[in-house]
Amino acid sequence: MDNLSIVTGSFATLQIPSLTLRQKSQVVPPDVSPEQLRHLIQEMFVCMYQAHGVGIAAPQVGVLWRLFVVDLQQRDPEQRPLVLVNPTFTEMADEIEPGTEGCLSIPGYHSDKVPRSRLVRIEGFDHNLEPITIEARDYLARVFQHEYDHLDGILYIDRLASMDDLIADAAQIKARQVTDRIYNAGTPVDAVPAM
Ligand code: NI
């Protein structure tokens, strides 16, 4: 629990070059205090929502535990917020698809060419430490793989064939904002949802 108490004072999303993002996280101990776990999960959701993200992993808030949360309700109102503690992939289809990802820990960038498996089955424990199994395809499968990578200290940029596949958002967003202001009088511009 020591590693948790260090950071409970200020949860903020860590960004590159924080070394925490590059470390392998530890299994959440089965005897973790439910209150402490609930507190951490709440703080992770707060961080994620504040940053308009769709997922966040514990290492991104400085806690090296194998735990992440996901919320795709913005994309699909049917989706409920998900918590995965000590997750493992029990299935990962060979079919790989390039797709769009940004990361809360790498602000200002995204890529449209991050290769991920289209279909996965993930098993772990929910916020009450009850066993949970989820089969996911396409975007949810992608988010799971992105967040799971964080638990092993892997970032999506590590998955790119070339750094040329990394796109700087700032200039792009600025250009779009100018265009929007001219044509749509202030339509809000969404960046690529990060995770
Ligand atoms: Ni990320």
Q: φ, ψ for residue 83 (rounded to 5)?
A: -120, 130
Ligand 1 midpoint to CA 186 (Å): 29
Cα 102 to Cα 89: distance, rounded to the nearest angstrom = 22
3-state secondary structure (DSSP) of residue 96: strand
d(CA 130, CA 118): 26
Q: How far is the CA of 51 from the centre of ligand 1 (A)?
A: 12
Q: What is the 3-state secondary structure (H, E, C) of 133-176?
A: EEEEEHHHHHHHHHHHHHHCCCCHHHHCCCHHHEEEHHHHHHHH
Residues tagged active-site:
147
| Single pTM value for the model | 0.84
**Count of CA atoms in the C-beta half-sphere (13 A) of 51:** 30
pLDDT of residue 93: 97
Q: Which residues keep their CB under 5 angstroms from ion ligand 1?
A: 103, 195
pLDDT tens, residue by residue, 96-131: 999 999 999 999 999 999 999 999 999 999 999 999
Cβ-in-10-Å burial (0-12, 13-18, 19+) of 167 comes to middle
pLDDT digits (tens, 9 = 90+) for 7-21: 444 567 888 778 889
**What number of other Cβ atoms are within 10 A of residue 192's Cβ?**
18
- Joined tokens for residue 94: 């060979």
* Ligand 1 midpoint to CA 21 (Å): 9
